[in-house]
Amino acid sequence: MARRNTDGSKLFMTVMCTVAACSAVPISDLLDRASQRSDMLHSLSTTLTQDLDSHFPPIGRMLMPRPSMCHTSSLQTPIDKEQALQVSESDLLALARSLLQAWLDPLVVLSTSARTLPHPAQSSISNKIRELQEHSKNLGDGLDILSGKMGPAAQAISLLPYGGDNDIGEDRISRLTNFHFLLSCFRRDSHKIDSFLKVLRCRAAKMKPEMC
């Protein structure tokens, strides 16, 4: 399974780089591929959250920080599809790239913490976190190519530094709670990224707004 994922990622980047080198290939095709990758990213983060929920202590839900405490919450983003449709293509792509960039360090924290996570599905969770890192990097590389074709506005990055501790906690409850919170923040942001790219894909295909 891991080999197929790796081969698929290499194929994705090969295709992205090949089409980006050809000026005749429309941006809509690149957006279609990027949207497929973002969909995989969000689906995997959702599966990971479900894995954690299977053995998550009830008290952990009481201790869980609010979503507003996610390190990316300061970034102003559309709250629904209607708002996203009012944002320019370049700005939507810049938002997606900013969110991905903001998760480079936190994903490392998740990957490191997953190796010793006190959870029955620890091994599976750890493997899926590594897949998450790989998909995130490949999507980021693909969006870099897109931003180069869409102009300077799409290349703007809003810096959202991760101020959290690399150590997610000492005791079992703290480790599970902090891990779950960080992952839930990523799931929320991966949904935003996926939504933005789907709107971009729809608009590039010149579909009617109500079809997006």
The count of structural domains within the chain is 1
Position 25 in a domain: no
| pLDDT score recorded for residue 57 | 80
C-alpha separations of 16 from 25, 30, 54, 139, 186 in Å: 11, 7, 37, 10, 24
pLDDT at 18: 46
Tens-digit pLDDT string for the chain (212 aa): 444 454 554 444 444 444 444 344 578 788 889 999 999 999 999 999 999 988 888 877 778 888 899 999 999 999 888 899 899 999 999 999 999 999 999 999 999 999 999 999 999 999 999 999 999 999 999 999 999 888 888 899 999 999 887 888 888 889 999 999 999 999 999 999 999 999 999 888 877 666 77
The answer to the question of residue 21 being in a domain is no
Q: What is the pLDDT of residue 11?
A: 44
Residues 6+ apart with CB under 8 A from 162: 71, 102, 105, 106, 109
What CATH number is associated with residue 56? 1.20.1250.10
Please report the pLDDT score of residue 209 as a whole number.
65
* Distance in angstroms (rounded) separating the CA atoms of residues 140 and 96: 9
pLDDT value at residue 204: 83
Query: CA 77, CA 140: separation in Å to the nearest integer?
Result: 18
CA torsion, ordered 130, 196, 191, 174, to nearest 10 deg: 70
In a domain, 125, yes or no: yes
Provide CB contacts within 8 A for 35, sequence distance 6+: 194, 197, 198, 200, 201
Residue for token pair 């992952």? 183
pTM score, two decimals? 0.84
CA distance 170 to 108: 18
Q: Token digits for 65?
A: 């920080």
Report pLDDT for 188.
Answer: 96
Q: Is residue 147 part of a domain?
A: yes
pLDDT at 169: 86
Residue at 86 is within a domain: no
Domain that holds residue 135: 39-66+92-211
